[in-house]
Chains A and B, each alone.
Chain A
Amino acid sequence: MKQQDTIPKAALQFLRLFLRHDLVDEVTGDLEEMYSFTRLTRSKYIARLVIWLEVFNYIRPFAIRKQTVTPINTWPMYKSYFKTAFRSMVRNKLHAFINITGLSVGMAVTIVIALWIVDELSYEKHFDKYPRIGRVLQNVTNNGEVQTWWTLPWPLAEELRKNYGSDFSNVVLTTGLQPHLLTTEDNKLNKTGLFAEQDFTKIFSLEMVYGSSHTLKDPSSILLSESTAKAYFGDKNPLGEIITIDRDKKLVVKVAGVYKDMPSTSEFSNLEFIASWDLLFNATDWIRSMSDPWRPNAFVVYTLLAEHASFEGASEKIRDAKLKKVNEALAKKKPALFIHPMQDWHLHSKFKNGVKEGGRIEYVWLFGVIGGFVLLMACINFMNLSTARSEKRAKEVGIRKAIGSLRSQLIYQFFSESILTAFFSLLLAIGVVYMMLPYFNTIADKNVSLQWTNTTWWLTAILFCLGIGIIAGSYPALYLSSIQSSKAIKGAYRAGRYAAIPRKILVTIQFAVSIVLIIGTVVVYLQVQHAKNRPIGYDTNGLVAIPMADELHTHFDAVKNELEANGTILAMAEAMSPTTQQWSSTSQLDWNGKDPDLSVDFGVISGSHDYGKTIGWEIVMGRDFSREYISDSTAIILNEAAVEYMGLKNPIGETIRSSNAPYTVVGVVKDIITSSPYNPVTPTLYYLSTWQENFLVARLSPTISPAEALTNIEAVYSKYNNEVPFTYEFTDESYARKFGDEERVGTLSTIFSTLAVFISCLGILGLSSFMAEQRMKEIGVRKVMGASVLDLWKLMSRDFVLLVTIASIVATPIAYITVSSWLENYRYHLAMPWWAFIAAALGTLLITLLTVSWHTINAASINPVKSLRAE
């Protein structure tokens, strides 16, 4: 742009900001002369610069404008503002109630969600070396898709240390977290813990109460959590006490340290003991004498990155570390190792086709967005109602101005009023959160609490209140304070036709958000129901899984007969795993017509005779295992998924080779859901076992109460074994746990959406009452002219119906995109429920009409004499 050859306008404007009014004219004149004088000799840029300097040189005490009136009685004025604010609240109880309730409910929801999110984000952060810790995982190709496996063969840790050590400070091998029986002289309890190599404590920092964390190099030492130590030894120092782990291996260890319990925000929250890997290795035959130790994936490897290394770089280097070691058949799976950084353990641990794809982070986003929306809606209400109501206060403004109130005083008055309301709501919200938090913790399965001493929380809350107060108060403060007092007092002040438009837009946004939330909640609920209604292939009712003890295997028939005789159970069998889980899988499979290059991974479940009868599976072809056929020790039953995957036309009688041993298919059962109810069922093989299994499964007789049945079982159980404590789990309960996350999300989002809808209803209620009041005279005139209540009701509701319609049109595509991408996460999901969209729109319309009617019908049925009398 071309620089103009005139005195800089901005400089003059700036000058007028502070200069005494009586000086403006002469000073501007002087500056004009100064400019043309300078231009005689210098360029226009210099001249303009000179003027700027001159203007700055006028910032002197004599030239600066003084305030013409100085209010001396500031404090009583503020007292008066608060008094007026309070009085106007009392006069408009409904408005005050809606304003404060809406805002405080919104704030309470936001605070709760914020607490939840902060808790979710704080996982594992208590470990000193948090940013450098990782867990090694592997991507393997099975049945034509890439799966991510969490466990690894045990020699891998040593291999990583030896050949890939440059990227790692430490690599440790551990077992998975599992319950073990820990026995002292006086006590016998199942405690969850792991066996780890000695460097475990160098990666995961422990806060020690007694002893040292570096004692794991002695294989006969054990570290206990504080609460475990307390359970066994009370308050005395437990160092040096003797504990026996597991009754079959009889691992004798000495307490060498006690660490503070892990916080609930950790993968290791239930880590109750840590024992030495060497101890387990030397005492466990199946680990020590594996024919191919690179084959079974049953162990966990944690790494600590070296200072200079990155997770990506290290992952790239170790990628083929396992592939190079495994046999030819396993190499078909193309195992690719990578490191899962600790930052991602909690929130980003869902993998699809070997690529990280979300996880709990989706819930964090979901609730974050819901919280944001609820807050937005509460703010919209607050703003709408404040502005709507303030129009009624135009007269007050007029009077105040007429008796000498300054504009700045009016601005202060409105701001102090709205900020005060915001702070009042905050106090209320904190109170509500304080009372509701225990219930929230139960529903959300969390342990969050209000951060009374956290300054960041307080600062955010206070800043937020100031912000919302200022935004909501800005319309009355800045606009109303500018109107002429004479007009306002005469009542000539009317908000223009367009004054209501921002309010209408805000209400439409509110409706749209409500509709999206309603649709989302309905879909979450339907999806959970859909998965719950999925046929699971067996009967969970009255089915119990009991961890096995040696004696019960040897006396199996006696136990069974006794329990059947006294009517406790209908059937009983031994099983490898509880029916809700599948613990083992095999890839050493071959059948006629199998593509030799195909890498497969079939689930394996074994059970004793009567297993099928006990769990109540459904045979669709062939027969169940039977005691009548001795050949059944090499028989096999397939599930439907396996038959379909193998492409067998007549599965009965087919021979399948597992680890080169031939098995004959005798039956096919309906698919049994063992993993997530949202995923397709894995092809699975069922064997008949004669060896000792891990669990007893029993179907309780429906004729006696479960409590009585359990007492009977425990009596028999402890008759044959008094070393292992009796524990049990109902299968329907453990199956229900598969829905835990989704159900929690469903419940929470239902609660939050209900509150959101409630808040927007409050808003509409307030607005409609305001509108009814404003149009009181119009209604009166119309009634006199013969309008019926119904006509008036239609007239008043029309606006809102229009807004809801627009909102539905806006909300539908947004809801569709969100809902369908959420459903995509589940392989087993319901078809898009279009009726939910229509129902949500109609429901919102209905609620709106009901809310609006509350006031319109009131207004419409008032005797017109009342509303018109004043004229």
Chain B
Amino acid sequence: MIETRLGDFEEVLMLIIGILGEEDTYAFRIAQEFKTQTNRAVSIGAVHSTLDRLENKGFLKSQTREGTSERGARVKRIYSLTALGKRVLKEAMEFKLGLWKQYPAFSAKFNMS
């Protein structure tokens, strides 16, 4: 059975793909962005492996594109979110928000509707 819930790392990667937009979403670039956003280093291999998994689950789709001279004219695999991926991402956020709202000490201070 394919796991439909998202892990933390997976969620962050999908968000980064959303932020970066269509052009730059290949493994190396995503790893770089992950580092700038979170200040945590991550290997390309780890990112690639997660992207591969998300693609298998149907949350991401990918296509290859001509590479630039910078990378020896080698192809890059560009990932983008699928409709299912976007929905899962949204569900994940709403699920967490729902939890936040039930937390009395914080629910008053945050207004996240």
Contact = CB atoms under 8 A, between A and B. Distances in A.
Interface string A18-38: 000000011111111110110
Given A26-B27, A60-B49, A62-B49, A53 B43 contact: yes
A361 to B, nearest CB: 61
A45 interface: no
Interface in B38-86: 43-46, 48-49, 52-53, 64, 67, 70-72, 74-77
Contact of A57 (B32, B44, B52, B77): B44
Nearest to B30: A30
Contacts of A36: 70
> Which among A26, A28, A36, A63 has the highest number of chain B CB atoms within 10 Å?
A26
A254 B85 CA distance: 105
A529 B77 CA distance: 88
Contact of A32 (B43, B46, B52, B74): B74
A37 B26 CA distance: 15
A25 B75 contact: yes
A239 B7 CA distance: 89
Nearest to B65: A26
A58 interface: yes
A54 B45 CA distance: 7
Is chain B's binding surface mostly helix, strand, loop or mixed? helix
B75 A63 contact: no
Contacts of A31: 44
B26 A26 contact: yes
Contacts of A33: 28, 70-71
A537 B47 CA distance: 99
B68 to A, nearest CB: 9
Interface string B15-40: 00000000000111000100000000
Give the 3 A-B CB pairs with smallest separation, nearest first.
A29-B74, A57-B45, A57-B43
Nearest to A53: B43
A54 B41 CA distance: 12
A59 B71 CA distance: 22
A29 B44 contact: no
A30 B75 contact: no
Contacts, number: 64
Contact of A62 (B26, B53, B72): B53
Given A32-B71, A54-B45, A63-B48, 11 more contacts: A25-B75, A27-B27, A30-B28, A30-B71, A31-B44, A33-B70, A53-B43, A54-B44, A57-B45, A58-B44, A60-B49
Contact of A29 (B32, B45, B52, B72): B72
A29 B68 CA distance: 9
Nearest to B27: A30
Interface residues of B, number: 21
A562 B70 CA distance: 121
A321 to B, nearest CB: 77
B43 A54 contact: yes
A28 B74 contact: yes
Contacts of A32: 70-72, 74
A379 to B, nearest CB: 47
B57 to A, nearest CB: 13
A28 B76 CA distance: 10
Contacts of A28: 72, 74
Contacts of A57: 43-46
Given A27-B48, A57-B44, A58-B48, A37 B74 contact: no
B77 A26 contact: yes
Interface string A34-72: 101100000000000000011001111011000000000
6 contacts: A29-B76, A57-B46, A60-B46, A60-B49, A62-B53, A63-B52
Contacts of A29: 28, 67, 71-72, 74-76
Given A32-B70, A37-B32, A26 B45 contact: no
A26 B53 CA distance: 17
B49 A34 contact: no
B44 A26 contact: no
A27 B52 CA distance: 13
A25 B74 contact: yes
A517 B49 CA distance: 66
B72 A60 contact: no
Contacts of B77: 26
A60 B75 CA distance: 21
A31 B26 CA distance: 12
> Which among B28, B75, B76 has the highest number of chain A CB atoms within 10 Å?
B28
A60 B70 CA distance: 26
B48 A34 contact: no
Nearest to A7: B72
Contacts of A37: 28, 32
B8 to A, nearest CB: 19
Contacts of A26: 26-27, 64, 74-77
A32 B27 CA distance: 12
Contacts of B64: 26
A65 to B, nearest CB: 14
A30 B77 CA distance: 10
A62 B49 CA distance: 6
B45 A60 contact: yes
Contacts of B26: 26, 30
Given A26-B27, A62-B52, A34 B75 contact: no
B45 A58 contact: yes
A63 B45 contact: yes
A590 to B, nearest CB: 99
